[in-house]
Amino acid sequence: MTEGMGLRERKKIQTRRRLLAEAARLFGERGFDQVSVAEIAEAADVSKMTVFNYFDSKEDLVLAPMEEHIGDVAQVVRDRVHGESAVAGVRRHFLAAVENRDPSVGMSDSPVALGLLQLIQQTPALLTRARAFFARSDELLVDVLVEEGEDRAVARIVAAQLIGTRNALISENHRRLLAGESAEAIASGAAVLAGRAFDLLENGLGDFATRA
CATH of the domain at 16: 1.10.10.60
57 sits in the region (left: phi over 0; alpha: psi -120 to 50; else beta) called: beta
* Number of domains, the chain: 2
Q: What is the per-residue pLDDT across 76-89, written as a single tens digit (0 to 9) for each?
A: 999 999 999 999 99
Identify the DSSP state of 187: H
Nearest to 109 by CA among 101, 99, 121: 101
Asked whether residue 33 falls in the same domain as residue 72, the answer is no
Q: Which of 116, 12, 8 is nearest to 59 (CA)?
A: 116
Distances (CA, A) of 47 to 7, 38, 54, 148: 20, 8, 11, 47
pLDDT tens across 122-131, in order?
Answer: 899 899 999 9
Q: Fill in the amino acid letter for 142.
A: V
In a domain, 209, yes or no: no
Judgement on whether residues 52 and 68 belong to the same structural domain of the protein: no
181 and 123 inside one domain: yes
Could you tell me the pLDDT band of residue 3, with boundaries at 50, 70 and 90?
low
Question: CA 183, CA 72: separation in Å to the nearest integer?
Answer: 21
For the segment 104-141, what is each residue's pLDDT rounded down to a tens digit? Answer: 999 999 888 898 899 999 899 899 999 999 999 999 99
pLDDT at res. 147: 96
Q: What is the DSSP string of 53-93?
A: HH-SSTTHHHHHHHHTTTTHHHHHHHHPPTT--HHHHHHHH
Cβ contact 53:92 at 8 Å: no
User: Quick one: 38 and 74 in the same domain?
Assistant: no
pLDDT, tens digit (0-9, with 9 covering 90-100), for 143-201: 999 999 999 999 999 999 999 999 999 999 999 999 999 999 999 999 999 999 999 99
Q: Which domain holds residue 23?
A: 7-57
Cβ atoms within 10 Å, residue 184: 10
